[in-house]
């Protein structure tokens, strides 16, 4: 693979390949941009089928973090890391400590936080070998509840435009992935009286949602074909493509997963179908707002974070309005403005 060519295609500054066989560590750290500040992004532990799959994921995720952090008004750039392998077999304290040393060697160009299969207690372990971690239990902690609340508020904003009211009572929401964010999102929706239809690879969490949140379990193959008001992808990215968008029967797509759309053509296909897409990096920013405060302000205050997360409702409305005014897709509405902001900042700060 021509990696530098890929870097220039996505606009990356730096890719670091990491290996320590003594602890079975193989990872890729991608620093997309440090124009606005040090790059912040989670570390994902995932058993990728191939190294190319891991690279594809980390390139897309880290670019998304540049946009997300800028959209959230944080003086932070974007990055992301993936640790390759099955976390159930490979995640050990030794591996995390070794990984922390590699992060440390970047000298603060990259800060990391939780992502899929990496939790707040793993952050505490990393903090033994590097200071460049956030989301540790001792400070800002698990970002997922903030992420879930932001998505819930964005859904309400989307519903106000799409359905004429921001109440989600009686609305049917299909949720893919009941992890830290997906389950917390379901709790918000349940409290408001929405009907939940859910699927997760892990049957135990599905059973829990059925038991505690009156959810209906659906099989994987019905996720994209079930009639509903909102489809919420809260597992992995690239869930929607131009092919499967045709089968969707929802009014809104809004979820936690980063890079929900495989490509821009998928965004256009949703637009043509009349499905309102709420851009992932706008609506799932609650987590970075939480973790980012620790880095940017040097202090942590949950009330300030909550107030900023509440702003996701208004931001979502602005994106929808801008898309309507410019006659472009919502997936296009935020991006050019953010890129302008990032490049303006580059020139204004020298």
- Interacting residues with ligand NAI (CB under 6 A): 114-117, 143-144, 147, 176-182, 199-202, 205, 234-236, 256-258, 284, 287
Q: 109: which 2 tokens?
A: 């160009």
Min dist CB 313 to ligand NAI, Å, is 17
Q: Which is nearer to ligand NAI, 31 or 65 (CB)?
A: 65
- Residues annotated as catalytic (active site), given as ranges: 80
The nearest distance, CB 260 to ligand NAI, in angstroms, is 9
In the complex, what is the shortest distance from the CB of residue 12 to ligand NAI, in angstroms, rounded to a whole number?
A: 18
Residue nearest to ligand NAI (CB): 179
Nearer to ligand NAI, 130 or 144 (CB): 144
Smallest distance, Å, CB 234 to ligand NAI? Answer: 5
**SS (HEC) of 254-294:** CCCCCCCECCHHHHHHHHHHCCEECCHHHHCCHHHHHHHHH
Residues 153, 315: contact at Cβ < 8 Å? Answer: no
Instruction: Between 200 and 229, name the residue whose CB sits nearer to ligand NAI.
Output: 200
Report residue 106 as tokens.
Answer: 């970047």
Decide whether 163 or 300 has the Cβ nearer to ligand NAI: 300
């Amino acid at each position: 693979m021509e990696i530098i060519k890929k870097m220039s295609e996505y606009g990356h500054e730096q890719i670091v390949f990491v290996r320590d066989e003594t602890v079975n560590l193989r990872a890729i750290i991608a620093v997309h941009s440090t124009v606005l500040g040090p790059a912040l992004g989670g570390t994902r532990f995932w058993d990728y089928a191939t190294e190319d799959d891991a690279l594809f994921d980390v390139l897309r995720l880290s670019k998304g973090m540049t946009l997300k952090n800028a959209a959230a008004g944080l003086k932070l750039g974007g990055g992301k890391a993936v640790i390759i392998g099955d976390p159930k077999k490979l995640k050990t304290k030794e591996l995390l400590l070794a990984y922390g040393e590699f992060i440390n060697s970047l000298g603060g160009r990259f800060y990391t936080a939780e992502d899929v299969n990496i939790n707040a207690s793993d952050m505490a372990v990393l903090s033994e070998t590097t200071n460049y971690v956030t989301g540790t239990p001792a400070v800002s902690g698990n970002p997922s509840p903030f992420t879930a609340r932001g998505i819930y508020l964005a859904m309400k904003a989307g519903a106000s435009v799409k359905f004429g009211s921001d109440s989600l009572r009686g609305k049917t929401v299909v949720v893919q992935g009941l992890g830290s964010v997906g389950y917390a999102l379901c709790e918000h929706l349940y409290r408001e009286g929405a009907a939940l239809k859910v699927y997760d690879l892990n049957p135990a969490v599905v059973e829990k949602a059925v038991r505690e949140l009156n959810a209906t379990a659906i099989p994987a193959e019905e996720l994209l074909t079930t009639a509903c008001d909102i489809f919420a992808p809260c597992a992995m990215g690239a869930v929607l493509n131009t092919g499967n968008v045709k089968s969707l029967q929802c009014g809104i797509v809004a979820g936690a997963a980063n890079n929900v759309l495989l490509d821009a053509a998928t965004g256009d296909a949703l637009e043509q179908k009349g499905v309102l897409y709420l851009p992932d990096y706008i609506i799932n920013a609650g987590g970075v707002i939480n973790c980012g405060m620790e880095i940017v302000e040097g202090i942590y205050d949950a009330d300030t974070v909550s107030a900023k997360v509440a702003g996701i409702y208004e931001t979502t409305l602005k994106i929808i309005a801008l898309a309507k005014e410019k006659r472009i897709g919502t997936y296009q509405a935020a991006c050019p403005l953010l890129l302008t902001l990032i490049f303006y900042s580059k020139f204004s700060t020298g």
